[in-house]
Protein backbone atom coordinates (compact mmCIF):
# COMPACT_ATOMS: atom_id res chain seq x y z
CA UNK A 1 0.00 0.00 0.00
CA UNK A 2 2.80 2.44 0.94
CA UNK A 3 4.57 1.51 -2.28
CA UNK A 4 1.43 2.23 -4.32
CA UNK A 5 1.02 5.66 -2.59
CA UNK A 6 4.67 6.52 -3.25
CA UNK A 7 4.32 5.55 -6.91
CA UNK A 8 1.14 7.66 -7.30
CA UNK A 9 2.76 10.65 -5.59
CA UNK A 10 5.75 10.47 -7.92
CA UNK A 11 3.49 10.31 -10.95
CA UNK A 12 1.60 13.40 -9.82
CA UNK A 13 4.82 15.27 -8.95
CA UNK A 14 3.76 15.64 -5.31
CA UNK A 15 7.00 14.41 -3.83
CA UNK A 16 9.10 17.07 -5.67
CA UNK A 17 7.59 20.58 -5.88
CA UNK A 18 8.34 22.37 -9.19
CA UNK A 19 10.00 25.40 -7.56
CA UNK A 20 12.55 23.21 -5.88
CA UNK A 21 14.47 22.90 -9.17
CA UNK A 22 13.79 26.43 -10.49
CA UNK A 23 16.91 28.58 -11.06
CA UNK A 24 16.40 31.91 -9.28
CA UNK A 25 17.74 34.43 -11.81
CA UNK A 26 17.86 38.22 -11.79
CA UNK A 27 16.93 40.41 -14.75
CA UNK A 28 18.31 43.62 -16.25
CA UNK A 29 15.78 45.65 -18.23
CA UNK A 30 15.86 49.14 -19.71
CA UNK A 31 13.66 52.05 -20.68
CA UNK A 32 14.73 54.77 -23.11
CA UNK A 33 13.14 58.21 -22.76
CA UNK A 34 13.69 61.04 -25.24
CA UNK A 35 12.15 64.50 -25.12
CA UNK A 36 13.38 66.42 -28.12
CA UNK A 37 13.23 66.87 -31.88
CA UNK A 38 11.80 63.81 -33.61
CA UNK A 39 12.11 63.67 -37.40
CA UNK A 40 9.93 61.24 -39.31
CA UNK A 41 11.20 59.30 -42.36
CA UNK A 42 9.62 61.81 -44.79
CA UNK A 43 11.59 64.71 -43.28
CA UNK A 44 8.79 66.32 -41.28
CA UNK A 45 9.35 66.70 -37.56
CA UNK A 46 8.03 67.70 -34.19
CA UNK A 47 9.20 68.17 -30.62
CA UNK A 48 7.83 65.27 -28.62
CA UNK A 49 8.51 62.39 -26.26
CA UNK A 50 9.43 58.77 -26.82
CA UNK A 51 9.36 55.88 -24.32
CA UNK A 52 10.90 52.64 -25.53
CA UNK A 53 11.16 49.44 -23.52
CA UNK A 54 14.39 47.45 -23.95
CA UNK A 55 15.30 49.42 -27.08
CA UNK A 56 18.29 48.20 -29.08
CA UNK A 57 18.78 51.26 -31.27
CA UNK A 58 17.64 54.90 -31.21
CA UNK A 59 18.29 58.02 -33.28
CA UNK A 60 19.09 61.45 -31.84
CA UNK A 61 18.87 64.60 -33.95
CA UNK A 62 22.19 66.53 -33.96
CA UNK A 63 20.82 69.49 -31.99
CA UNK A 64 22.54 70.61 -28.81
CA UNK A 65 20.12 70.33 -25.92
CA UNK A 66 18.77 66.98 -27.12
CA UNK A 67 19.35 64.65 -24.17
CA UNK A 68 17.88 61.21 -23.64
CA UNK A 69 17.76 59.01 -20.55
CA UNK A 70 18.48 55.30 -20.52
CA UNK A 71 17.15 53.82 -17.29
CA UNK A 72 18.40 50.36 -16.31
CA UNK A 73 16.48 48.31 -13.74
CA UNK A 74 17.87 45.28 -11.92
CA UNK A 75 15.38 42.92 -10.28
CA UNK A 76 15.47 39.51 -8.62
CA UNK A 77 13.48 36.47 -9.68
CA UNK A 78 10.44 37.78 -7.81
CA UNK A 79 10.59 41.12 -9.69
CA UNK A 80 11.85 42.99 -6.64
CA UNK A 81 14.59 45.63 -7.01
CA UNK A 82 18.17 44.67 -6.23
CA UNK A 83 19.78 47.56 -4.37
CA UNK A 84 23.45 48.54 -4.22
CA UNK A 85 24.64 46.41 -7.13
CA UNK A 86 27.49 47.91 -9.24
CA UNK A 87 26.57 48.72 -12.86
CA UNK A 88 29.28 49.28 -15.47
CA UNK A 89 28.43 51.65 -18.34
CA UNK A 90 30.69 51.95 -21.39
CA UNK A 91 30.39 53.50 -24.84
CA UNK A 92 32.47 53.44 -28.03
CA UNK A 93 32.01 54.40 -31.69
CA UNK A 94 30.23 51.63 -33.60
CA UNK A 95 30.01 53.14 -37.09
CA UNK A 96 31.78 56.12 -38.67
CA UNK A 97 34.93 55.21 -36.79
CA UNK A 98 37.57 56.92 -38.98
CA UNK A 99 39.80 59.37 -37.03
CA UNK A 100 38.71 62.29 -39.23
CA UNK A 101 35.24 61.90 -37.71
CA UNK A 102 36.09 60.88 -34.17
CA UNK A 103 39.47 62.32 -33.15
CA UNK A 104 39.68 66.04 -32.25
CA UNK A 105 42.93 66.81 -34.07
CA UNK A 106 41.85 64.97 -37.20
CA UNK A 107 38.45 66.69 -37.23
CA UNK A 108 39.97 70.13 -36.66
CA UNK A 109 42.39 69.56 -39.55
CA UNK A 110 39.41 69.46 -41.91
CA UNK A 111 38.62 73.11 -41.15
CA UNK A 112 40.60 76.15 -42.28
CA UNK A 113 43.72 77.09 -40.28
CA UNK A 114 42.02 80.21 -38.90
CA UNK A 115 39.35 78.27 -37.00
CA UNK A 116 41.10 75.04 -35.98
CA UNK A 117 41.95 76.33 -32.51
CA UNK A 118 38.31 77.30 -32.01
CA UNK A 119 37.12 73.90 -33.20
CA UNK A 120 39.41 72.16 -30.73
CA UNK A 121 38.20 74.47 -27.94
CA UNK A 122 34.56 73.69 -28.71
CA UNK A 123 35.30 69.95 -28.72
CA UNK A 124 37.05 70.32 -25.35
CA UNK A 125 34.06 72.25 -23.97
CA UNK A 126 31.71 69.49 -25.07
CA UNK A 127 29.79 71.73 -27.48
CA UNK A 128 31.12 70.18 -30.68
CA UNK A 129 30.68 66.47 -30.00
CA UNK A 130 32.40 63.69 -31.93
CA UNK A 131 30.84 60.96 -29.76
CA UNK A 132 27.75 60.78 -27.57
CA UNK A 133 28.76 61.97 -24.08
CA UNK A 134 26.94 60.50 -21.09
CA UNK A 135 26.48 60.90 -17.34
CA UNK A 136 25.56 58.14 -14.89
CA UNK A 137 23.32 58.87 -11.90
CA UNK A 138 25.12 56.42 -9.58
CA UNK A 139 27.72 53.63 -9.82
CA UNK A 140 25.31 51.27 -8.02
CA UNK A 141 21.58 50.58 -8.25
CA UNK A 142 19.33 52.76 -6.09
CA UNK A 143 16.34 51.81 -3.91
CA UNK A 144 14.35 51.02 -7.06
CA UNK A 145 17.15 48.87 -8.43
CA UNK A 146 17.89 51.52 -11.05
CA UNK A 147 20.76 53.41 -12.62
CA UNK A 148 19.97 56.25 -15.02
CA UNK A 149 22.27 57.21 -17.89
CA UNK A 150 21.86 60.66 -19.46
CA UNK A 151 22.94 60.41 -23.11
CA UNK A 152 23.60 63.63 -25.02
CA UNK A 153 23.40 63.97 -28.78
CA UNK A 154 26.49 64.30 -30.94
CA UNK A 155 27.26 65.77 -34.37
CA UNK A 156 29.27 63.15 -36.32
CA UNK A 157 26.44 61.80 -38.47
CA UNK A 158 28.50 61.08 -41.56
CA UNK A 159 28.13 60.54 -45.28
CA UNK A 160 28.08 56.73 -45.43
CA UNK A 161 25.26 54.29 -46.14
CA UNK A 162 24.52 54.09 -42.41
CA UNK A 163 24.62 56.98 -39.92
CA UNK A 164 27.29 57.50 -37.30
CA UNK A 165 26.53 55.62 -34.10
CA UNK A 166 27.90 54.79 -30.66
CA UNK A 167 27.34 51.47 -28.91
CA UNK A 168 26.42 51.69 -25.22
CA UNK A 169 26.82 48.64 -23.00
CA UNK A 170 25.48 48.21 -19.45
CA UNK A 171 26.84 45.24 -17.45
CA UNK A 172 25.84 43.82 -14.09
CA UNK A 173 27.71 40.61 -13.43
CA UNK A 174 26.80 38.28 -16.32
CA UNK A 175 23.82 40.42 -17.35
CA UNK A 176 24.10 42.91 -20.20
CA UNK A 177 22.00 45.47 -22.08
CA UNK A 178 23.20 47.19 -25.28
CA UNK A 179 21.95 50.31 -27.04
CA UNK A 180 23.02 51.75 -30.41
CA UNK A 181 22.69 55.55 -30.39
CA UNK A 182 22.65 56.99 -33.92
CA UNK A 183 23.29 60.56 -35.07
CA UNK A 184 21.08 61.43 -38.03
CA UNK A 185 18.83 63.90 -39.77
CA UNK A 186 16.27 61.52 -41.20
CA UNK A 187 14.48 62.06 -44.49
CA UNK A 188 17.19 63.78 -46.54
CA UNK A 189 17.29 62.84 -50.23
CA UNK A 190 20.12 62.82 -52.82
CA UNK A 191 20.36 65.53 -55.47
CA UNK A 192 20.19 64.01 -58.96
CA UNK A 193 22.19 65.49 -61.81
CA UNK A 194 19.58 66.41 -64.43
CA UNK A 195 20.97 69.32 -66.49
CA UNK A 196 18.40 68.61 -69.20
CA UNK A 197 15.77 69.49 -66.58
CA UNK A 198 17.57 72.56 -65.32
CA UNK A 199 19.47 71.41 -62.21
CA UNK A 200 22.88 69.85 -61.74
CA UNK A 201 25.74 69.73 -59.22
CA UNK A 202 29.47 70.39 -59.15
CA UNK A 203 32.12 69.45 -56.61
CA UNK A 204 29.75 68.14 -53.95
CA UNK A 205 30.84 66.03 -50.98
CA UNK A 206 27.53 66.15 -49.18
CA UNK A 207 24.85 65.93 -51.87
CA UNK A 208 21.64 65.61 -49.84
CA UNK A 209 18.81 68.04 -49.05
CA UNK A 210 15.43 68.07 -47.39
CA UNK A 211 12.93 66.68 -49.94
CA UNK A 212 10.81 69.87 -49.92
CA UNK A 213 13.83 72.01 -50.70
CA UNK A 214 15.02 69.69 -53.45
CA UNK A 215 11.56 69.65 -55.06
CA UNK A 216 11.42 73.46 -54.99
CA UNK A 217 14.90 73.78 -56.52
CA UNK A 218 14.03 71.24 -59.22
CA UNK A 219 11.00 73.33 -60.18
CA UNK A 220 13.19 76.43 -60.16
CA UNK A 221 15.63 74.61 -62.46
CA UNK A 222 12.83 73.61 -64.83
CA UNK A 223 11.65 77.21 -64.97
CA UNK A 224 15.17 78.41 -65.74
CA UNK A 225 15.65 75.70 -68.36
CA UNK A 226 12.47 76.87 -70.11
CA UNK A 227 13.42 80.58 -69.99
CA UNK A 228 13.55 81.63 -73.66
CA UNK A 229 15.62 84.85 -73.66
CA UNK A 230 18.85 83.88 -71.89
CA UNK A 231 21.99 85.65 -73.13
CA UNK A 232 24.24 83.76 -75.51
CA UNK A 233 26.53 81.27 -73.77
CA UNK A 234 24.52 81.20 -70.53
CA UNK A 235 23.82 77.62 -69.37
CA UNK A 236 20.20 76.50 -69.29
CA UNK A 237 20.64 74.85 -65.90
CA UNK A 238 21.40 75.94 -62.33
CA UNK A 239 24.36 74.43 -60.47
CA UNK A 240 24.43 73.44 -56.79
CA UNK A 241 27.96 73.54 -55.36
CA UNK A 242 27.20 72.85 -51.66
CA UNK A 243 24.59 70.81 -49.81
CA UNK A 244 24.39 68.46 -46.79
CA UNK A 245 26.01 65.16 -45.82
CA UNK A 246 23.90 62.00 -46.18
CA UNK A 247 22.83 62.05 -42.52
CA UNK A 248 23.31 65.75 -41.79
CA UNK A 249 25.53 66.85 -38.94
CA UNK A 250 29.09 68.11 -39.17
CA UNK A 251 30.03 69.08 -42.72
CA UNK A 252 33.64 70.38 -42.68
CA UNK A 253 34.84 72.94 -43.60
CA UNK A 254 31.37 74.48 -43.09
CA UNK A 255 29.69 75.39 -39.83
CA UNK A 256 26.44 75.33 -41.80
CA UNK A 257 24.84 72.94 -44.32
CA UNK A 258 23.99 70.72 -41.35
CA UNK A 259 20.26 70.03 -41.54
CA UNK A 260 19.47 69.79 -45.26
CA UNK A 261 17.93 73.25 -45.48
CA UNK A 262 20.95 75.18 -46.79
CA UNK A 263 22.42 75.15 -50.29
CA UNK A 264 25.18 76.88 -52.29
CA UNK A 265 24.24 77.89 -55.84
CA UNK A 266 26.58 79.12 -58.55
CA UNK A 267 25.87 82.66 -59.84
CA UNK A 268 24.88 83.03 -63.48
CA UNK A 269 27.12 84.11 -66.31
CA UNK A 270 27.54 83.90 -70.05
CA UNK A 271 29.62 80.75 -69.92
CA UNK A 272 29.38 77.31 -68.34
CA UNK A 273 31.47 76.32 -65.36
CA UNK A 274 32.63 78.40 -62.37
CA UNK A 275 31.59 82.05 -62.32
CA UNK A 276 32.63 84.71 -59.81
CA UNK A 277 31.60 88.28 -59.15
CA UNK A 278 34.03 90.44 -61.12
CA UNK A 279 34.49 87.99 -63.97
CA UNK A 280 33.83 89.35 -67.44
CA UNK A 281 31.29 86.57 -67.93
CA UNK A 282 29.39 87.29 -64.69
CA UNK A 283 25.83 88.39 -65.49
CA UNK A 284 24.52 90.58 -62.71
CA UNK A 285 20.94 90.86 -63.94
CA UNK A 286 20.51 87.11 -64.49
CA UNK A 287 21.88 86.49 -60.99
CA UNK A 288 19.49 89.12 -59.63
CA UNK A 289 16.63 87.21 -61.24
CA UNK A 290 17.88 84.03 -59.56
CA UNK A 291 17.96 85.81 -56.18
CA UNK A 292 14.43 87.10 -56.75
CA UNK A 293 13.21 83.56 -57.40
CA UNK A 294 14.95 82.21 -54.28
CA UNK A 295 13.29 84.91 -52.19
CA UNK A 296 9.98 83.97 -53.79
CA UNK A 297 10.55 80.37 -52.67
CA UNK A 298 11.03 81.52 -49.08
CA UNK A 299 14.80 81.88 -48.59
CA UNK A 300 15.54 83.31 -45.14
CA UNK A 301 19.23 84.03 -45.74
CA UNK A 302 21.22 84.75 -48.90
CA UNK A 303 24.93 85.54 -48.58
CA UNK A 304 26.72 86.78 -51.69
CA UNK A 305 29.56 89.11 -52.65
CA UNK A 306 27.32 91.35 -54.76
CA UNK A 307 24.84 93.68 -53.07
CA UNK A 308 21.81 92.53 -55.03
CA UNK A 309 18.22 93.06 -53.94
CA UNK A 310 17.28 90.20 -51.59
CA UNK A 311 20.86 89.44 -50.47
CA UNK A 312 20.83 89.51 -46.67
CA UNK A 313 24.60 89.66 -46.12
CA UNK A 314 27.31 90.87 -48.48
CA UNK A 315 30.55 88.95 -47.94
CA UNK A 316 33.60 89.22 -50.17
CA UNK A 317 34.45 85.53 -49.80
CA UNK A 318 31.15 84.53 -51.44
CA UNK A 319 32.08 85.59 -54.97
CA UNK A 320 31.60 82.20 -56.61
CA UNK A 321 28.40 81.06 -54.88
CA UNK A 322 25.22 82.23 -53.26
CA UNK A 323 24.84 80.72 -49.80
CA UNK A 324 21.08 80.23 -49.44
CA UNK A 325 19.19 78.94 -46.41
CA UNK A 326 15.50 78.22 -45.85
CA UNK A 327 15.85 77.70 -42.10
CA UNK A 328 14.51 80.16 -39.52
CA UNK A 329 18.01 80.54 -38.06
CA UNK A 330 20.52 79.06 -40.49
CA UNK A 331 23.50 78.77 -38.15
CA UNK A 332 25.05 75.88 -36.26
CA UNK A 333 24.31 74.56 -32.75
CA UNK A 334 27.43 75.72 -30.93
CA UNK A 335 28.06 78.70 -28.66
CA UNK A 336 29.59 81.64 -30.45
CA UNK A 337 30.90 85.12 -29.99
CA UNK A 338 31.73 87.74 -32.59
CA UNK A 339 35.18 86.25 -33.17
CA UNK A 340 33.92 82.72 -33.83
CA UNK A 341 33.45 82.42 -37.57
CA UNK A 342 34.29 79.81 -40.15
CA UNK A 343 36.08 80.28 -43.47
CA UNK A 344 32.89 81.81 -44.90
CA UNK A 345 32.57 84.30 -42.06
CA UNK A 346 29.61 82.50 -40.47
CA UNK A 347 29.17 82.18 -36.73
CA UNK A 348 28.80 79.36 -34.30
CA UNK A 349 25.41 79.24 -32.63
CA UNK A 350 23.71 77.62 -29.64
CA UNK A 351 20.30 75.99 -30.09
CA UNK A 352 19.83 74.81 -26.50
CA UNK A 353 16.23 75.32 -25.43
CA UNK A 354 14.97 76.20 -28.92
CA UNK A 355 11.70 74.37 -29.65
CA UNK A 356 10.78 75.51 -33.13
CA UNK A 357 11.12 73.08 -36.02
CA UNK A 358 11.75 75.95 -38.46
CA UNK A 359 15.26 76.20 -37.04
CA UNK A 360 15.99 72.66 -38.24
CA UNK A 361 13.45 71.85 -40.96
CA UNK A 362 13.23 74.24 -43.93
CA UNK A 363 10.01 76.06 -44.77
CA UNK A 364 9.85 76.18 -48.57
CA UNK A 365 7.15 77.33 -50.98
CA UNK A 366 6.69 74.60 -53.54
CA UNK A 367 5.85 76.71 -56.60
CA UNK A 368 5.27 75.18 -60.01
CA UNK A 369 7.75 76.14 -62.75
CA UNK A 370 5.25 78.38 -64.54
CA UNK A 371 4.87 80.49 -61.36
CA UNK A 372 8.54 81.55 -61.50
CA UNK A 373 9.54 84.44 -63.76
CA UNK A 374 12.98 85.78 -64.66
CA UNK A 375 13.60 89.38 -65.69
CA UNK A 376 16.72 89.33 -67.83
CA UNK A 377 16.55 92.94 -68.97
CA UNK A 378 19.89 94.69 -69.00
CA UNK A 379 18.97 97.54 -66.63
CA UNK A 380 21.35 96.46 -63.82
CA UNK A 381 24.54 96.22 -65.88
Q: If DSSP codes are grouped into helix, strand and coil, which group holds residue 3?
A: helix
pLDDT at 345: 52
Q: Are 44 and 61 in contact (CB under 8 A)?
A: no
Q: Which residues, other chains included, contact 3 with Cβ-Cβ below 8 Å and sequence gap of 6+? A: none
The set of residues, in sequence order, having a beta carbon less than 8 Å from that of 293 and lying 6+ positions away, is 220, 223, 372, 373, 374
- Residue 140 DSSP label: B
Q: Are 170 and 89 a contacting pair, CB within 8 Å? A: yes
Strand partners for 70:
32, 149
* Alpha helical stretches, state H, 174-325: 211-226, 284-297
Across the beta sheet with 88-95, what order do the strands follow?
Answer: 57-60, 175-183, 164-172, 88-95
How far apart CA 159 and CA 181 sit, in angstroms, is 17
Q: Alpha-carbon distance 330 to 288, whole Å?
A: 22
CB 180 within 8 A of CB 56: yes
Question: Do 362 and 74 meet the contact criterion of CB atoms below 8 Å apart?
Answer: no
Residue 58's closest CA among 158, 161, 179? 179
Q: Which helix (H) or strand (E) holds 67?
A: strand 67-75
Cis-peptide, bond into residue 235, ω within 30° of zero: no
Judge whether 342 and 318 are in contact, CB under 8 Å: no
Cα angle value 172/175/181 (rounded, 5°): 85
Contact of 152 with 145, CB cutoff 8 Å: no
CA distance 12 to 345: 84
Residue 163: Cβ within 10 Å count: 23
Ordered per-residue pLDDT tens for the chain, 381 residues: 444 434 333 333 433 333 333 346 899 999 999 988 999 988 999 999 999 999 999 999 998 888 899 999 999 999 999 999 999 999 999 999 999 999 999 999 998 888 888 889 889 988 889 999 999 999 999 999 999 999 999 999 999 999 999 999 999 999 999 999 999 999 999 999 999 999 999 999 899 999 999 999 999 999 999 999 899 999 999 999 999 999 999 988 887 899 999 999 999 999 999 999 999 999 999 999 999 999 999 999 999 999 999 999 999 989 999 999 999 875 544 434 445 554 555 555 566 677 889 889 999 999 999 999 898 876 444
Q: Which DSSP string corresponds to 289-341?
A: HHHHHHHHHT-SEEEESS--TT-SEE-TT-SS-EEEE-SSS-S-SS---TT-B
Predicted local distance difference test score (pLDDT) of residue 179? 98
pLDDT at 378: 60
Q: How many CB atoms are located within 10 Å of the residue 159 CB? A: 19
Q: Quick one: which of 158, 167, 162, 101 has its CA closest to 132? A: 167
Amino acid sequence: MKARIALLSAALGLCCPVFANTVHTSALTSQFYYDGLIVTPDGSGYFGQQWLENATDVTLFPKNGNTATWTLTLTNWRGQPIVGEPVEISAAPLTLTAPQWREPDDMAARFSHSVRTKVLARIEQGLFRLTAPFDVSSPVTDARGQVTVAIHNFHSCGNDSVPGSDRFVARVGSLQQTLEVKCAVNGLVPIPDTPNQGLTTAGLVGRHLHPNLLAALQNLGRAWHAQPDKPAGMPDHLTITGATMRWGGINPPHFTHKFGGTVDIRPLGTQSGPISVGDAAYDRQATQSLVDALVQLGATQIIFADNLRGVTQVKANHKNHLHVSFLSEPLEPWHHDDADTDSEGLHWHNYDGIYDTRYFIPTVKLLEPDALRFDLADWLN
